A and B are shown apart, each in its own frame.
Chain A
Amino acid sequence: MARKLLLEHINVPGINTFETYRSKGGYAAVEKALKSMSPDDVVEEVKKSGLRGRGGAGFPTGMKWSFLAKPEGVARYLVCNADESEPGTFKDRYLMTNIPHLLIEGMIVASFALGAKTSYIYVRGEMMPQIRILEKAIAEAKNAGFLGKNILGTGYDLELYVQPGGGAYICGEETALLESLEGKRGNPRIKPPFPAIAGLYGCPTVVNNVESIAAVVPIINEGGEEYAKIGIGRSTGTKLISAGGNVRKPGVYEIDLGLPVEEFLFSDEYCGGIANGKRLKAVVAGGSSVPILPANLFLKTINNEPRLMSYESLSDGGFVSGTMLGSGGFIAFDEDQCIVRNTWNFARFYHHESCGQCSPCREGTGWMEKVLHRLENGHGKMSDMDLLVDVSKKIEGNTICPLGDAAAWPVASAIRHFRDEFEWHVTNAAVATTRNYGLAHYADPLPKLETA
């Protein structure tokens, strides 16, 4: 069994209180960083660890930190993005509910590294219990002298605030989050300038995911090089995966990156296979916005190599036969699930959540949703599939923020891989409203590569 770095003490009763967390070696990273390291050392350590942003894009965290502009006399901010709203992803909520002090500890170390005197945790509005838990944890930490003025007598001051959002998915985009945090309408900003130059209130700002910030704690405790030994290639460390859908044991699992997907999906340690003895049809590997893959292409890459849970292996094959690790929202579909219905459901979500600022996303998401709704309800046409692909191409890459891409990819990939199921919904419209297409050939072994 692999070592857990983030969720090691998750099952200790009372780990959400300061005393228990401290007795399990908590806040050691704060002591180590503030007392024996300079801010640059901390950044260097995170760089060495190879930690990549856990929010979805996978941008190296250490690099992001080193891009932060440091003009004299201007405040710098660290903002934790806890606006987790991707369908299929629930790892941050789990972490904040059960072990809030890990996030607080990470925030203190990261703020110290960036020289931020005020830091914010922007939590999605629906997560009211988590907001209360975090506020309680902050009060406890402040009581114990880990927050506030002159932390641990080192002369470093830090105020940490929890800010509830309004519950909009778009506010998980970093610049929309900053707008929302400033009290404005949550519209993404046009980049450049990037937040590292002009972010919150026009000051240099770093926005990191909850899990990225929590991962700083083990990196400081054990050293960046130790952390980098876990994982494979450029995907270092451990990752929280929120397994959902038709798996036997849904939940949040901490895996070493590089774990074979087959082991993750079928071993009893993790998902435990597909529920009710059914067969796997399709998988969304990293939250709703990544391309969906049929079972055969998910378990094996196009070159017939086993796929691993890592940034590189999951994206092997690009958009033709690959997907992405994204934010780790793993959704498995069994043979009874309808891909058309699922695609419509995702499209409906993006239509609802589009901010309406730029035209391709505002109008295009609604159009895709309506066409998919028509297909699902048996009024589709054969030309609809090409229409959907065309509309998704018109949206992709032409929008201000990545929400447009996130709306286009699931639709484009579902049609790419499940075109016959879509066509079946048109040709057998009456049957399609009563039963599902079934597994068909989606789990068949991939054809052998022809070698010249």
Chain B
Amino acid sequence: MKVTIDGIPVEVEPGTTILNAARQIGGDIVPPAMCYYSKLKDSGGKCRTCLVKVSKGSEKDPRPMPKLVASCRTTVMDGMEVQNITSPEVIEARKGIVEILLLNHPLDCPVCDQAGECHLQDLAFEHGSAKTRYEFDRRTFEKIDIGDKIQLHMTRCILCYRCVFVADQITENRVHGILNRGDHSEISTYIQKAVDNDFSGNVIDVCPVGALTDKTFRFKNRVWFTKPVQAHCACDKCSGKVTLWYKGEEVIRVTARKDRNGEVEEFICNTCRFDRKKTSDWVIEGPAKIANTSVISANHYDFTPLPVIKTNLQLQQANENQFERDTRL
């Protein structure tokens, strides 16, 4: 199937979503996704940051779609034409969504452990404005310990439901979900029941913000002062392929490996994550590659040219605008 995204054609399998088609192209034209997670079934469609405009439905039915569609949940049709950064309407809507996502977010990045690897931070940096128009109290929640290794700070949550899907699909028995509705909704374990199974730690990795954090790492260090190293071990529960985060000689955190979309490659078990924190537990493979857009790779000069089509003036302009948004400050 052939689909064109921002003027760049790509051949994809039938049943692929627009977002995944865009990821096959890569570069600036990939819509941001806060709730979609390719490894979790039924995720996506909730945060609305990945909205795109379908300017041509398909070869058979060339009518455009009446509304912006969530690219993570819309499958491509043959001959579909999609506009992402070339459509001012999409950029405007995305700006609105970012403002809305930040309405009740505490913006406590200076004390948040996720800072530096937070998707919401990246998104807000790119699309948000420096000031908010919201002049009311933000909702707040008490911090909750779910299990002895994970802390839930609901105030920061953007309700992407990823951790709910992890609890549903990766772990053996589902122990948490959403309580209440509207902007009172909260992720909860119900009566603070401890999360207790071998894969529960993955909720930390899938959380796009700092709502679910690793208690063994909380306030230990800023992520951009740590060095990520790929390592593996022979684990009987999971694949054992992880990233170790070093501060000097010391392993201060273990996470799953992330791919270039910020999603984990393989989910890891809690033993690897929380209990193996000595270099001798691991076989070191080498330094982990971090995208050059991330603050963690500051001062690492590593550049892969993006596919820009020189003949498409509109896309060139959109790329320049995107570059300005990226480097505004």
Binding site for B on A (CB under 8 A): 168, 170, 185, 190, 351-360, 362-367, 370, 387, 390, 393-394, 397-400
Within 8 A of A (CB), among B86-121: 93, 96-97, 99-101, 103-104
Contact A363:B46 (CB < 8 A) given known A190-B70, A398-B51: no
Q: Knowing that A358-B45, A398-B67, A400-B46 are A-B contacts, what are 11 other residue pairs whose CB atoms are under 8 Å apart, sorted by A's residue number?
A: A168-B181, A356-B185, A357-B161, A358-B48, A359-B158, A363-B103, A366-B182, A370-B136, A398-B51, A398-B96, A400-B45
Report whether A354 and B182 are in contact in the complex, using a CB–CB cutoff of 8 Å.
yes
Report whether B70 and A354 are in contact in the complex, using a CB–CB cutoff of 8 Å.
no
| Nearest chain A CB to B113 CB, angstrom units | 23
Find chain B residues with CB under 8 A from A356 CB: 159, 178, 180-185
Determine the distance from Cα of A333 to Cα of B68 in the docked complex, in whole angstroms.
36
Contact A170:B51 (CB < 8 A) given known A359-B159, A370-B136: no
Report whether B180 and A364 are in contact in the complex, using a CB–CB cutoff of 8 Å.
no
Report whether B68 and A398 are in contact in the complex, using a CB–CB cutoff of 8 Å.
yes
Find chain B residues with CB under 8 A from A168 CB: 181
Asked whether B133 is an interface residue with its Cβ less than 8 Å from the other chain, the reply is: yes
Report whether B68 and A362 are in contact in the complex, using a CB–CB cutoff of 8 Å.
no
Out of B70, B180, B182, which one reaches A351, CB within 8 Å? B182
Q: Can you list 19 A-B contacts with CB-CB less than 8 angstroms, sorted by A residue number?
A: A170-B181, A185-B177, A190-B44, A190-B70, A352-B182, A353-B182, A356-B178, A356-B184, A358-B45, A358-B46, A359-B100, A360-B97, A362-B159, A362-B183, A363-B100, A394-B93, A394-B97, A394-B100, A400-B46
Q: Which of A353, A364, A398, A400 has the most CB of B within 10 A?
A: A398
Find chain A residues with CB under 8 A from B45 CB: 190, 358, 400
Mark B228-241 against chain A: 1 for CB-CB distance below 8 A, else 0. 00000000000000
| Nearest chain B CB to A349 CB, angstrom units | 11
Asked whether B56 is an interface residue with its Cβ less than 8 Å from the other chain, the reply is: no
Report whether B182 and A365 are in contact in the complex, using a CB–CB cutoff of 8 Å.
yes
| Nearest chain B CB to A180 CB, angstrom units | 12
| Nearest chain A CB to B213 CB, angstrom units | 21
Contact A363:B136 (CB < 8 A) given known A168-B181, A356-B182, A394-B93: no
Q: Which B residue's beta carbon lies closest to that of A373? A: B136
Binding site for A on B (CB under 8 A): 44-48, 51, 67-68, 70, 73, 93, 96-97, 99-101, 103-104, 133-134, 136, 158-159, 161, 177-178, 180-185
Q: Which B residue's beta carbon lies closest to that of A364? A: B100
Report whether B178 and A359 are in contact in the complex, using a CB–CB cutoff of 8 Å.
no
Out of B133, B136, B177, B184, which one reaches A387, CB within 8 Å? B133
Determine the distance from Cα of A367 to Cα of B159 in the docked complex, in whole angstroms.
17
Find chain B residues with CB under 8 A from A190 CB: 44-45, 70, 73
Report whether A362 and B99 are in contact in the complex, using a CB–CB cutoff of 8 Å.
no
Find chain B residues with CB under 8 A from A185 CB: 177-178
Find chain A residues with CB under 8 A from B47 CB: 358-359
Determine the distance from Cα of A370 to Cα of B181 in the docked complex, in whole angstroms.
17
Determine the distance from Cα of A400 to Cα of B73 in the docked complex, in whole angstroms.
11
Report whether B96 and A394 are in contact in the complex, using a CB–CB cutoff of 8 Å.
yes
Determine the distance from Cα of A49 to Cα of B103 in the docked complex, in whole angstroms.
49
| Nearest chain B CB to A173 CB, angstrom units | 13
Determine the distance from Cα of A400 to Cα of B51 in the docked complex, in whole angstroms.
11
Report whether A359 and B48 are in contact in the complex, using a CB–CB cutoff of 8 Å.
yes
Find chain A residues with CB under 8 A from B182 CB: 351-356, 362, 365-366
| Nearest chain B CB to A428 CB, angstrom units | 22
| Nearest chain A CB to B24 CB, angstrom units | 22
Determine the distance from Cα of A393 to Cα of B184 in the docked complex, in whole angstroms.
23
| Nearest chain A CB to B300 CB, angstrom units | 33
Find chain A residues with CB under 8 A from B177 CB: 185
Determine the distance from Cα of A190 to Cα of B96 in the docked complex, in whole angstroms.
21
Q: Which of B44, B158, B161, B184 has the most CB of A within 10 A?
A: B184
Find chain B residues with CB under 8 A from A363 CB: 100-101, 103-104, 183
Report whether A397 and B48 are in contact in the complex, using a CB–CB cutoff of 8 Å.
no
Contact A367:B97 (CB < 8 A) given known A358-B48, A359-B47: no
**What 7 A-B pairs come out closest when comparing CB atoms?**
A394-B96, A356-B185, A354-B182, A190-B45, A363-B103, A363-B100, A366-B183
Contact A399:B48 (CB < 8 A) given known A356-B178, A359-B101, A360-B96: yes
Find chain B residues with CB under 8 A from A360 CB: 48, 96-97, 100
Find chain A residues with CB under 8 A from B185 CB: 356, 362
Find chain B residues with CB under 8 A from A357 CB: 46, 159, 161
Determine the distance from Cα of A190 to Cα of B161 in the docked complex, in whole angstroms.
14
